[in-house]
Amino acid sequence: MQVVVRDNNVDQALRALKKKLQREGVFREMKLRNYYEKPSEKKARQKAEAVRRARKLARKRAQREGGLVTAGARS
């Protein structure tokens, strides 16, 4: 991973680095690796995350479709 420091502005570069690490999930990965996770727990966690992602996607999709329908009804 690489971050460019412009005009000796290290604070801005550090913020950009933290944002990139957050997006990549490095902090989350480090937190998970702090302790041993049994395979059954790992499987359950991953399944729960998948369900959470699916629900979030469905919620966003429904909101988007609902928004389009309401916008079309006003016109």
Q: What is the pLDDT of residue 22?
A: 95
User: Average pLDDT for residues 17-22, to the nearest whole number?
Assistant: 95
Distance CA 28, CA 22 (A): 8
Angle, helix 10-24 to helix 26-33, in steps of 10 degrees = 60
User: Which domain range does residue 9 map to?
Assistant: 1-35
Convert the pLDDT of each residue in 25-62 to its tens digit.
999 999 999 999 999 999 999 999 999 999 999 999 99
Task: Say yes or no: 43 and 71 in one domain.
Answer: yes
Q: What is the pLDDT of residue 66?
A: 85
Convert the pLDDT of each residue in 32-41 to its tens digit.
999 999 999 9
- Mean pLDDT of all residues belonging to the chain: 89
Task: Say yes or no: 31 and 43 in one domain.
Answer: no
In this prediction, residue 72 has a pLDDT band, given cuts at 50, 70 and 90, of low
